[in-house]
Amino acid sequence: MRALLLLLLPSVAHATGPCEDNPVRFDPPSQYSAKEHAFASPGVAAWCEVDAQDQERRGAAKFVELRDVANKVLATLSADPDAARIHADRVVPLHAALIARGYGALAKVPSCAFKTAWDGDGVVVDVTRAGKRLARVPLGPGSTRRRGDQQLVVTRDGDALALWATVPDCDGPPPGYFGPDDPGTCYKRDTVIAMTLDKALAAACLK
């Protein structure tokens, strides 16, 4: 499933066409599968359709995205009747499907702390142990207009550390699109990232 747009109420409610700004919210994952080396991330995705009279019809559907540490989406599952509208596979019961794929509670990392920060226009993860920074892991560029919206989860996977994060960004008409006094509109868009951390770093954090 491709990166989706999240809802933001813009300072100026402009749009350039129908069915814009379809909100999707990713929640931090609380489940991980060592079998699939993947996170299960719940969320809610909006959908929008335009009828023959050019009227918008909107709704929303819950889903769970399964994303592995190679940052590949393995599946997008939903128990919602509108699953097809958000391009998800409808699976009932969803909880049983996740258990069958090996998804369970996250495993704690005993020796390190992980925190997101901004370095210029990019989001990074600082890894510390006993107050000393061991590493700074870059995640990618985002929008500083949404500073603080980033999310982060790290779990143990055997001798490895698996990381899931979101980098917040904006879509929508840029400043000046509708005139010199237009500040632009930020439709929230989050890039989801999953990866494994460096082996030496994992070894230091798992002591």
The answer as to whether 107 is a domain residue is yes
Strand-pair partners of 152: 165
Q: Do the domain assignments include residue 131?
A: yes
The model carries a pTM of 0.86
12 assigned to some structural domain: no
The b/e string for 108-128 (b: 16+ C-beta within 10 A; e otherwise) is ebeebebebeeeeeebbbebe
- For residues 139 and 109, give the distance between their C-alpha atoms in angstroms, rounded to a whole number: 20
List the structure tokens of 23: 């909100």
Domain that holds residue 137: 20-205
Classify residue 6: in a domain, yes or no. Answer: no
CA–CA distances in Å: residue 21 to residues 9, 14, 16, 77, 114: 10, 11, 10, 22, 32
Residue 154 banded pLDDT, cuts 50, 70, 90: very high
Residue 41 has pLDDT above 80, yes or no: yes
Q: What is the mean pLDDT of residues 2-28?
A: 60
* Number of domain units in the chain: 1
Question: Whole-angstrom Cα distance, residue 172 to residue 148?
Answer: 20
Split at pLDDT 50, 70, 90, the class of 15 is: low
Q: Is residue 74, in this structure, part of any structural domain at all?
A: yes
Task: Give Cβ neighbours of residue 55 (< 8 Å, ≥ 6 apart).
Answer: none
Torsion, Cα 97 102 107 112, to 10 degrees, reads -100
Which residues face 110 on adjacent strands? Answer: none
In a domain, 11, yes or no: no
CA-based nearest residue to 5, from 48, 67, 39, 36:
48
pLDDT digits (tens, 9 = 90+) for 57-88: 999 999 999 999 999 999 999 999 999 999 99
Band of the pLDDT at 13, cuts 50, 70, 90?
A: very low
**Is residue 32 situated within a structural domain?**
yes
Residue 8 lies in a domain: no
Between these two residues, 171 and 111, which has the higher pLDDT value?
A: 111
